[in-house]
Structure 1
Amino acid sequence: MTVHKGYGLRRGAASADASSIATDAQRVAEGFVAPLGRRWAHVQAVAALATDIGRAVDPSERGLLIAAAWLHDIGYSSEIGHTRFHPLDGARYLRGEGWPELVVNLVAHHSGARFEADRRGLGAELGEFPFPDGPVLDALALADLTTGPAGERLTYDERISEILRRYPEDDPVHQAWLTATPVLRESVQRAQARLAGGSA
């Protein structure tokens, strides 16, 4: 569908104006995620929280954090969900549209995607995207993993418990989170510490 075209930015535009990239990201996310029901409420709440916690990252990266928060779940859309692994599908779409590399890699690796990719046999495919370790990935984890599926605020432990209840024990998502939980807890805690310290 052409409705989604034209919102991507030139490759390498890492210094794009924060409000502009966030607005572009919101438009793309609305086109792909709004038809998916309550997931749209989740995405809107994650983006709002990412905006609120922007001081946990360098000012030059705040717009990219907010953009990634808007875009992190676009791969659930059947229009681009070719592998049915949403971080990979979303990142491939964004790369093709010329979004900044950091945004693409954040979407690819958000919230422990590498653990689920391994369970699904898609580790090599996800490896197309460099792992963006650092404060922005931590802040995205904090925003995503303290926001419930309908946009409600949760603690990290409440969110993980909700995920484990929602997926059966033999599901790759459930299995991945058994491994990912302590690693992502550290990521969330780092972001919280940066917020408490008032700097990235």
Structure 2
Amino acid sequence: MNGKQASWARLVAEEELRGVLPRRWAHSKGVAKRAVSLVGVLGDDADLLASAAVLHDVGYAPRLAETGFHPLDGARFLRDVHGADDRLVRLVANHSFALLEAEERGLKEVLEAEFPLLENALLVDALVYCDMTTTPDGQRTTAESRLAEILGRYGVDSVVGRFIRRASPEILAAVGRIETALAAQPR
């Protein structure tokens, strides 16, 4: 993460997560590290992806949890407290098919109204890829293993479990599209 926005994002995420949620901070750092591997695929949007990657879970910070839905809480914090870039805020709000989880929580209309999904499908897919191929401890994993880990941690009948079961086909498709784009990069 060499860009100005990404450096700022790392400082914000570290301030909010490192002390209170060290494992979540480790995951966020790992997701950001994955984002760096996509520079060749994203070009000018690489700094934006790196910023969203490190900030995607900032809404888990206890002091920011207003609704209990971390994508919405994090996006509101970034918008309202930091006046963050609109595209960054929208990526954080909608990371990893959050709209499906918002629907499970009765927050779909709120999320859609405040933070419409970006039209840049490659950027959206890239953030899904980074999040869903990184373990809670920040290590690389497969999307299939990550989905299984989430289901195991939350339980299949929980809100997150129901969401992840619904979102799995879309998550796997997004990861597949990024893996295809990476394979097409010159070596």
TM interval, short-chain normalised: over 0.9
Mapped to 2, the partners of 1:61 and 1:67 lie a distance apart of: 10
**For 1:61, what is the secondary structure of its paired residue?**
helix
**For 1:147, what is the secondary structure of its paired residue?**
coil
**For 1:110, what is the secondary structure of its paired residue?**
coil
Paired residues in the alignment total 182
Q: Does the 8 A contact of 2:38 with 2:46 survive in 1? A: no
**For 1:111, what is the secondary structure of its paired residue?**
coil
Counterpart of 1:156 in structure 2 is 143
Q: Match for 1:92 among 73, 76, 81?
A: 76
Q: Does the 8 A contact of 2:27 with 2:138 survive in 1? A: yes
Counterpart of 2:171 in structure 1 is 184
Equivalent residues in 2 for 1:134-149 (5 A)?
Answer: 134-149=121-136
Mapped to 1, the partners of 2:8 and 2:78 lie a distance apart of: 12
1:24 equivalent to 2:11? Answer no
RMSD (Å), alpha carbons: 1.5
The amino acid that maps onto 1:48 is K
Q: Following TM superposition, by how much is the alpha carbon of 1:170 offset from its aligned partner in structure 2, in angstroms? A: 2.4
Q: Following TM superposition, by how much is the alpha carbon of 1:169 offset from its aligned partner in structure 2, in angstroms? A: 2.5
Mapped to 1, the partners of 2:123 and 2:39 lie a distance apart of: 9
| Unaligned ranges ≥5, structure 1 | 1-17
Q: Deviations over 1:52-72 (max 9, x none)?
A: 122221x22111000000100
Q: Does the 8 A contact of 2:125 with 2:177 survive in 1? A: yes
Equivalent residues in 2 for 1:77-116 (5 A)?
Answer: 77-96=61-80, 97-116=82-101
Mapped to 1, the partners of 2:70 and 2:41 lie a distance apart of: 26
1:69 equivalent to 2:53? Answer yes
The amino acid that maps onto 2:4 is S
Counterpart of 1:131 in structure 2 is 117
**For 2:94, what is the secondary structure of its paired residue?**
helix
Q: Following TM superposition, by how much is the alpha carbon of 1:101 offset from its aligned partner in structure 2, in angstroms? A: 1.2
Q: Which moved more, 1:179-188 or 1:124-133?
A: 124-133
Counterpart of 1:45 in structure 2 is 30
**What's the % identity of the aligned pairs?**
41
Mapped to 2, the partners of 1:171 and 1:85 lie a distance apart of: 14
Mapped to 2, the partners of 1:23 and 1:94 lie a distance apart of: 15
Q: Following TM superposition, by how much is the alpha carbon of 1:198 offset from its aligned partner in structure 2, in angstroms? A: 2.0
Q: Which runs of 4+ in 1 moved over 2 A?
A: none
Mapped to 1, the partners of 2:180 and 2:157 lie a distance apart of: 34
Q: Deviations over 1:69-126 (max 9, x none)?
A: 0100100011211111000001111112221111101100101111110000010111
The TM-score, its normalising length taken from structure 2, stands at 0.93
The amino acid that maps onto 2:11 is R
